[in-house]
Amino acid sequence: MPLTVGLTFDLKQDYPQEMSSAADDDCELDSPETIDAIASALEKNGHKVFKLGGGRNLPQTFEIVKPDIVFNISEGLYGRNRESQVPAILEMYQIPYTGSDPLTLSICLDKSMAKKIISYSNIPTPAFKKVEEVDDIYGLDELDFEFPLFIKPCYEGSSKGIRLDSKIKNISALKEKTLQLLGTYRQPVLIEEYLPGPEFTIGVLGNKKPEIVGIMEVRSLNNQNKELIYSYEVKKDWENQVQYLCPPPISPKLESEIKKIAINSYRALECRDVARIDIRLDKHGTPNFLEVNPLPGLMPGYSDLYIMAKAVGINYNVLVNKILSYAIERYPHLRINNCRSLFV
Ligand SMILES: Nc1ncnc2c1ncn2[C@@H]1O[C@H](COP(=O)(O)OP(=O)(O)OP(=O)(O)O)[C@@H](O)[C@H]1O
Ligand SMILES: [Mg+2]
């Protein structure tokens, strides 16, 4: 039986201008084309879709009508809990939804919190320090990590606040960049050991037995031996700057180590339905957890998850409906209704 599916999202064009403090402020938000593509994929599978928009619109809507389930890609507004806002509203109204719950979304958005859980789970991740405020920069002289280091805002995505000079070679550059990030992004800064090895992103789907969609290596395009910093500048000009290798030319041993870290990280952070995990090799060639994106981009044609799915013969419509199906599995009353759902 077809379901009524609400689609929750935040568009770049709706981003409140008064919130803008940096040039890359709205880069995590979605475009109308992505929303239309998700809606069309769900409709082609027989569902009736309502585009509900962002969190502020929802309580009023849900007082009048509730969809059977919500397909959530809302990024939310303000702070490290922003991605949790819509799922928290959905839980308040007891409406089923796709993806991770508010706790996981908040923890994953705060890279230092995620890394604490990852370290506790014995998954390799670079040593790190969180700098909360300007006064903390005096403590940076005491850091016992070796340079080079890497510096980034604690609660961002889409390489917001990450530039080619985020790789830091000495203490004066570290202090200068820390002050700059604290001032511009108004949130703590994460300083971590720099990982010099190749970079991979891994798509994961599912719950009890999560499945790897694919592993994709991201490499510098012009100079294959150049270390990649997948910064805001590079992501903006990706067509000229990077190549995506999916599957990557790696040994079966490395492939299985990367998959193990991806699945263990997904489980440790209690991700649901879908996520994309970024992994990079350290100087010994050991894969390390960098961060996880439990709301990975779903732009058709371009997003990492789209590329990985396509490489294994999963088209966009199937990908979107697979995410919905994994969510439906959680809700017995929907499972019965949806048992004849066909992937298009
Ligand atoms: N410790 C590190 N060592 C080396 N490079 C790093 C490190 N941390 C981040 N980077 C580089 O910066 C890029 C962006 O970092 P990260 O993935 O943490 O940011 P993000 O904004 O959350 O990205 P996404 O677009 O995946 O949401 C990485 O893909 C990697 O190239
Ligand atoms: Mg990343």
Backbone angles phi, psi at 115, to 5 degrees: -65, -30
Range in 26-30, 39-43, 65-69 the model is least confident about: 26-30
Ligand 1 pocket test, pick from 227, 232, 278 with the greatest ligand atom count within 8 Å of Cβ, gives 278
The predicted structure's pLDDT at residue 89: 98
The predicted structure's pLDDT at residue 16: 62
Joined tokens for residue 278:
């970024």
Cβ < 6 Å from ligand 1: which residues? 126, 150, 152, 156-160, 162, 192, 194-195, 199, 228-230, 278, 280, 290-291, 293
- 189 close to 181: Cβ distance less than 8 angstroms: yes
The model's pLDDT over 221-274, given as tens digits with 9 standing for 90+, comes to: 976 667 899 999 999 999 999 999 999 999 999 999 999 999 999 999 999 999
The predicted structure's pLDDT at residue 18: 56
Nearest one of 173, 295, 150 to 227, comparing CA atoms = 150
CATH architecture for segment(s) 127-193: 2-Layer Sandwich (3.30)
Task: Indicate the CATH number for domain 199-323.
Answer: 3.30.470.20
Q: For residue 167, report the distance from its CA to the centre of ligand 2, in Å.
A: 15
* Ligand that lies nearest to the alpha carbon of residue 232, given by its number in the listed order: 1
Beta-carbon count within 10 A of 106 CB: 23
Asked if residue 62 has pLDDT above 90, the reply is yes
Kindly state the average pLDDT of the residues 328-342.
Answer: 73
How many Å apart are CA 2 and CA 322, to the nearest integer? 15
Select the more confidently predicted residue: 85 or 227.
85
Kindly state the average pLDDT of the residues 192-206.
Answer: 98
Backbone angles phi, psi at 297, to 5 degrees: -60, 140
The model's pLDDT over 94-135, given as tens digits with 9 standing for 90+, comes to: 999 999 999 999 999 999 999 999 999 999 999 999 999 999
What is the SS3 assignment for 154?
Answer: coil
Range in 135-144, 201-210, 269-278 the model is least confident about: 135-144
pLDDT band at 339 (very low <50, low <70, confident <90, very high): very low
- pLDDT, the chain, mean: 93
Nearest one of 330, 341, 340, 267 to 90, comparing CA atoms = 330
The predicted structure's pLDDT at residue 344: 37
The model's pLDDT over 148-179, given as tens digits with 9 standing for 90+, comes to: 999 999 999 899 999 999 999 999 999 999 99
Atom nearest to 229 CA in ligand 1? 31
How many Å apart are CA 10 and CA 21, to the nearest integer? 18
Query: Hey, whose CA ends up nearest to atom 27 of ligand 1?
Result: 157
The predicted structure's pLDDT at residue 206: 98
Look at strands 273-281 and 199-206 and give their pairing. antiparallel
Side-chain half-sphere of 253: how many Cα atoms within 13 Å?
2
The model's pLDDT over 292-311, given as tens digits with 9 standing for 90+, comes to: 999 999 999 999 999 999 99
Asked if residue 27 has pLDDT above 90, the reply is no
Structure-token match 């000009």, residue found: 237
CA 165 vs. chain centroid, Å, equals 22
What crossing angle do the helices spanning 111-120 and 102-109 adopt, rounded to 10°? 100
Residue type, 185: Y
Q: Where are the domains of the chain?
A: 4-99, 127-193, 199-323
Q: For residue 256, report the distance from its CA to the centre of ligand 1, in Å.
A: 22
pLDDT band at 25 (very low <50, low <70, confident <90, very high): low
Alpha-helix runs per DSSP H in 110-197: 111-120, 171-185
The CATH T-level fold of domain 4-99 is: Rossmann fold (3.40.50)
How many Å apart are CA 270 and CA 337, to the nearest integer? 26
How many Å apart are CA 326 and CA 343, to the nearest integer? 13
